[in-house]
Structure 1
Amino acid sequence: MRFLPVNLDALLVELADLDETLALFDALQARPLPGIEEIVPAARTLLVQFRPSALKATDLVDHIAALPLDGGGREAGKLVEIPVHYNGEDLDEVARLLGLSVAEVIRRHTGSDYQVAFCGFAPGFGYLSGGPGFQVPRRPSPRTRVPAGSVAIAGGFAAVYPQASPGGWQLLGVTPLHLWDLSRPEPALLRPGYRVRFRDAGPLPAGGLPEAPLAAPTAPVTADYLEILSPGLRTLLQDLGRPGQTGQGVSASGALDRGALRAANRAVGNEPGSGCLEILLGGFSCLCHGQALVAVTGAPAPLEVLTRAGRRLQPAPYQPFLLEDGDRLSLGSPPAGLRSYLALRGGFAVAPVLGSLAFDTLANVGPAPLAAGDRLGFHPLVGGAAVSCSERPPVTLPSADQEVVLDVVLGPRSDWFTPAALETLARQSWRVTPQSDRVGIRLAGETPLERQVSGELPSEGTALGAIQVPPNGQPVLFLADHPLTGGYPVIGAVASHHLDLAGQIPVGARIRFNPLGPFAELRPSASPAAENIR
């Protein structure tokens, strides 16, 4: 058992195999420790996120080291039968790799049960262990689009793609079942611990697969609403995200600048985590129907209100101001930063999805991005908390011609890289490329980061701020919509206190990473549990 640093509020526990990983996960579930926020199991690791104000990393390590790893196996969970039309593009290649006939591959695939070990990659994507124990590699070149319902295997696991997405697994066939459906009380058909049995459903019908379920209807518009005249480049509803959904393969998502979102809500007297509009690079305008108290924080977009009487007003950022019926609010292009946050007293009349208003751009979960012509209802708040007129931006946001220094915690896979690569990470200035988005900041540097450990890394949990390094050596800094698990090594992570700043760095700006210390494994204190430590 190894304990590897991930961030100031997260660590990675590495174990010998999947059985040990699931045993430790079950032990942590059975003996919860106050202060643990989230646990993400993977092939042979647990990502443990915790609250430093309630739990020290050293105490967490000692607690985990003392837990037994001989849980005796999981109890048999709910059985889900999945019909499969075995027409996959890789079926012949899989048979060749295994030295079997196609008929024998199908017979074995349907002949024994799998178990959902963990979920990740995408909402509803379950990693299935057991079964016939097929061991086949991923495809040398991943597909840019794998259809929803595709049944696949790779690296000892089986899976069903819940929605169309890129993927590198070997495709055996397709199922008509919908693995992810937000209209169900439990959207994910598969959860950790469930059993899965594949059934040969014969040839694919001439009409193809049934259509995916329609999205849930939007909430009715209230008497008071904002009429969206222009959403700008992109305007999303965001709050503090949806933690606690990792069992369904869903990451938290949420606002990229949480401090700005909280400040906007405090300015209008809302709960700090209430939903706001996250407006990318200005260009937003709306017409107010009713009366609304609003505030705009984050990137300093110029604000203008054109009143019904024709007056032009310039409200101050970070301060509450009133929109009367018929007033038009416009946001210009900010000279620095990326994202502005608009809060409205009383909140927006939009139905939450899995407990949150946040739109996850990678998972496609949450209320849809705003479009011109939308009517966004709101609830006027009478009484309640007082407004705040003392909000201020905590830092000066960067512009596209500046360099930003971000503190970094090295780990958990810093030892997969050469000493020269660790020096390059800190010494070199990294340019933010136009391919950056809410999933991650894609960086470009003159010297790529070189690995000293080759081969595939088994999928493991990834954290907000993780700096993942794909084979080209150009790092990707994960932001709020990052995948729950990943298979490329993470060399370090932007420290928690700089995550809001990272979410405001524009394309063209440069980043310099400042390691807070050398990479070092965490060690448990001497205890009777020492025999668990390898």
Structure 2
Amino acid sequence: METAMETVAARQAAVHKVNAVRAVGTRAVLAELTGTEGVLALQALLLEHPLPGQLDVLAAAETVMVTADSPVAARRIAAQLLQLDLTAPVQRDGGLVVIDTVYDGADLAEVAELTGLGIEGVIAAHCRQQWTVAFAGFAPGFGYLVGENEVLNVPRRSSPRTAVPAGAVALAGTYSAVYPRRSPGGWQLIGHTAARMWDLDREQPALAAPGHRIQFRAVRETVALAPEPQPETPAPEVTSGLRIVSPGLQSLIQDLGRHGHSGLGVSAAGALDRASLRRANRLVGNAPGAAGIETVAIETAAGRLTVQAVGDQVLAVAGAPSELAITTPGRPDAEPDRRTVPMATPFALLDGETLSIGAPESGFRSYLAVRGGVDAAPVLGSRSTDTMSGIGPAPLTARQLLATGGDSESGVVGHPELQPEFPGTGVTVLDVVPGPRADWFDAEALESLTAQEWLVKPQSNRVGMRLDGTPLQRTRDGELASEGTVAGALQIPPEGLPVLFLADHPITGGYPVIAVVVDSQLDLAAQVPIGGTIRFRWADSGTTGPATSDRTPAEKAPDEEVSN
């Protein structure tokens, strides 16, 4: 009996222990553990007792990702994680949530074949067991559900869908989940539900938070309850701000992002080219993180952002160099006056005048700042639009009025500034460090990553840049348990074509990350246009600036992974 107790104790000790720590780019580390209980124990400890320099903590299937405020802090945290005591028990006692589900998913027949259960058997297996939300991730309201058995263990799709409908009920590996909104995804779809998994109007936005128990109930059709009527609140009159004449291709309100909410499944979002937003804000006398407008302009007039001043305004535009044309209304019998103003320079836009941002000469995104900042309702501390989760202001529309806020911090405007060169038709070189799963690829694949030029595909967006080239082959088969990701991560789906994550990326992913673009070059990456080309170059581990070495990961010092 004593020997058996010692064996149980040994197993518990193995669970509550950080087995290894891997670098994720330059400012994050990934702690590997054995079992969900160990993951939750580490997450609870770090949330209660943050380590110096710790910014955020994200639990996943077998890992905990810790984001730091600097590369130095990230390396220090990596060493400290291996010394932590994780023996304290984790208490999880959530309520029961019943989710009515119509089993009509596009992959139901394939899942039936993969499991050998048949369609009716899959439905029965999914409904007749109780699921528990182990952790949140991927998107707000997306909970990874652990079942009571593993009869529904199926692989992800070899190529993720660019769009999965909201309410889709899905399987991947040993997990189930419900997609809270339309988003990309690689899980197997078996049905759909009308349940609202994420609602910011609720006191607890997530319908099912970690610790909750889930019971799926098969129904023939789902009925969405009509929302309770809300009293109409008249929109406040805008006496100073900007009227959107034409919103362009996709113009969004962005600040520097909402950080520290990954535990809710919320990514940082924010301006893709942070330096350009800061520059535009600096020029008009705003705080660096004041909300402005991010826009992508194209050749046609309808694709250009055009705004009209409501009251006299001070503006500046930074980012992709474009023609900035101001039109002053003339008398009814006269032509309007037209003049141009330079980029990265503060200028006045008087009441009734309009500003139009032309197609960029190079680069891809421009940033418009107005003195005082754009006054939009903050969500989780930020005014940024997150295109993947739907959090934050909606994309701009014609005739919309944007009020100016109180985010100016200087009584004077800035001097005109020089801008960096922006990517054009040539090749843009981005420095990368080895990713946490570079060991899923051999030397030939690692060399191929940096030896070839990658084409930016039209399917790219703020979530990620989809790249085309010679596919990279893995050396490992099987599935990778979902784990935390960062902006700049180069994820490799089974088809072998990289996806470079940008600001609106899912916070967790299940495809191996071969490399990560250094943080200081994410602004440059965001300016590579559709149809542009990228070449990756190995940088020294821990660097945040230009590459100082062309060595491959195999030639570097072995400091990318720390193990007990």
User: What TM-score bracket applies, with the shorter chain setting the length?
Assistant: 0.7 to 0.9
Q: Is the 8 A contact 2:473 2:496 kept in 1?
A: yes
Instruction: For residue 7 of structure 1, give the secondary structure of its aligned residue in structure 2.
Output: coil
- CA deviation after TM superposition for structure 1 residue 349, in Å: 2.6
Q: Contact conserved, 2:435 with 2:515, CA < 8 A, in 1?
A: yes
Letter in 1 for 2:431: D
1:320-347 per-residue CA deviation (whole Å, 9 max, x = no partner) reads 1111111111111110111111111112
Contact 1:136-1:155 at 8 Å conserved across structures: yes
In structure 2, the residue corresponding to 1:455 is in which secondary structure? coil
Deviations 1:374-409 (A, max 9, x none): 22222478x85133423524521121x211111111
Q: Which runs of 5+ in 2 are unaligned?
A: 1-18, 299-303, 331-335, 541-551
**Deviations along 1:6-38, whole A, 9 cap, x unmatched?**
111112222233332222222222321121111
Greater CA drift, 81-90 or 294-303: 81-90
> 2: CA distance between counterparts of 1:33 and 1:256?
28
1:363 maps to 389
Equivalent residue in structure 2 for 1:299, among 307, 316, 320: 320
Q: Say whether the 8 Å CA contact 2:243–2:400 is kept in structure 1.
A: yes
Distance verdict in 2 for CA 1:37–1:472, change over 3 Å: same
The answer as to whether partners of 2:432 and 2:516 remain within 8 angstroms in 1 is: yes
2:248 to 208, 232, 235: 232
- 1:327-375 per-residue CA deviation (whole Å, 9 max, x = no partner) reads 1111111101111111111122321233222112222222111122222
**1:404 equivalent in structure 2:** 428
1:125-184 Cα distance to aligned partner (Å, 9 max, x none): 000224344442046576776543344443222222222445554556544431111222
| Aligned residue type for 2:46 | L
- Within a 5 Å distance, the mapping from 1:369-408 to structure 2 comes to 369-379=395-405, 384-390=409-415, 392-399=417-424, 401-408=425-432
Residue pairs, 1:113-262, within 5 angstroms = 113-138=130-155, 146-165=164-183, 167-170=185-188, 173-192=191-210, 194-198=211-215, 200=217, 203-204=220-221, 208-210=223-225, 220-262=236-278
Distance 1:419 1:102, change over 3 A: closer
Q: CA deviation at 1:96?
A: 7.3
Partners of 1:410 and 1:37 lie apart in 2 by 22
The match for 2:345 among 316, 319, 340 is 319
Instruction: Confirm whether residue 12 of structure 1 aligns to residue 30 of structure 2.
Output: yes
Deviations 1:394-450 (A, max 9, x none): 521121x211111111121111112111111122122222222212222222x3222
Aligned residues: 518
Which of 90-99 and 269-278 deviates more? 90-99
Are residue 453 (structure 1) and residue 476 (structure 2) matched?
yes
Query: Which of 437, 440, 445 lines up with 1:416 in the alignment?
Result: 440
Structure 2 counterpart of 1:287: 308
Partner residue of 1:334? 360
One-letter code of the match for 2:499? V
The 1:355/1:56 distance shift into structure 2, 3 A limit, reads: closer
Distance in 2, matches of 1:416 and 1:181, equals 38
Separation in 2, partners of 1:521, 1:131: 39
Residue matched to 1:427: 451
Q: Which moved more, 1:210-219 or 1:39-48?
A: 210-219
Cα distance between partner residues in 2 of 1:420 and 1:395: 34
C-alpha distance in 1 between matches for 2:228 and 2:267: 22
Q: Give distance in 2, aligned partners of 1:104 and 1:478.
A: 37
Greater mean alpha carbon deviation, residues 256-265 or residues 139-148: 139-148
Match of 2:50, as an amino acid? Answer: P
The residue number in structure 1 matching 2:370 is 344
Q: Which amino acid aligns with 2:403?
A: G
- Secondary structure in structure 2 of the residue aligned to 1:25: helix
TM-score (norm 1): 0.88
1:275 corresponds to 2:267:
no
Could you tell me how far apart the structure 2 residues matched to 1:436 and 1:83 are? 33
Shift of 1:56: 2.8
Is the aligned partner of 1:39 residue 2:57?
A: yes
Report the equivalent of 1:471: 494
Does 1:496 find its partner at 2:522?
no
Aligned-partner residue type, residue 324 of structure 2: L
Provide the residue aligned with 1:527 in structure 2.
Answer: none
Flag the 1:394–1:384 CA change in 2: closer, same or farther, 3 A: closer
Is residue 71 from structure 1 mapped to residue 88 from structure 2 by the alignment?
Answer: yes
Q: CA deviation at 1:195?
A: 1.8
Give % identity: 44
> Partner amino acid for 1:328?
T
Deviating more after overlay: 129-138 vs 262-271: 129-138
When the two chains are superposed, the root-mean-square deviation of aligned CA atoms in Å is 3.0
1:79 CA displacement:
0.8
* 8 Å CA contact 2:21, 2:32 repeated in 1: yes
Residues 97/32 of structure 1: CA separation in 2 closer, same or farther (3 Å cut): same
Q: Are the equivalent residues in 2 in contact too, given 1:337–1:506 (CA < 8 A)?
A: yes
Q: Which amino acid aligns with 2:293?
A: L
Residues 462-510 of structure 1 deviation map (CA, whole Å, 9 limit, x = unaligned) = 1100111122222121111111111111110111111111111112322
Residues 403 and 214 of structure 1: CA distance in aligned 2, closer, same or farther (over 3 Å):
farther
Are the structure 2 counterparts of residues 173 and 286 from structure 1 closer, same or farther at C-alpha, using a change threshold of 3 Å? Answer: closer
Q: Which amino acid aligns with 1:507?
A: I
CA 1:233–1:214 in 2, change beyond 3 Å: closer, same or farther? farther
Rounded to whole Å, the distance in 1 between the matches of 2:415 and 2:276 is 13
> Distance in 1 between the 2:112 and 2:358 partners?
59
The aligned counterpart of 1:529 is none
Q: Is the 8 A contact 1:137 1:154 kept in 2?
A: yes
Q: CA deviation at 1:266?
A: 1.2
Structure 1 range deviating more: 169-178 or 100-109: 100-109
TM-score by length of 2: 0.84
**Cα distance between partner residues in 2 of 1:460 and 1:346:** 39
> What CA distance in whole angstroms lies between the structure 1 residues aligned with 2:172 and 2:561?
33
In 2, Cα distance between equivalents of 1:277 and 1:125: 28
Gaps of 5+ in 1: 525-532
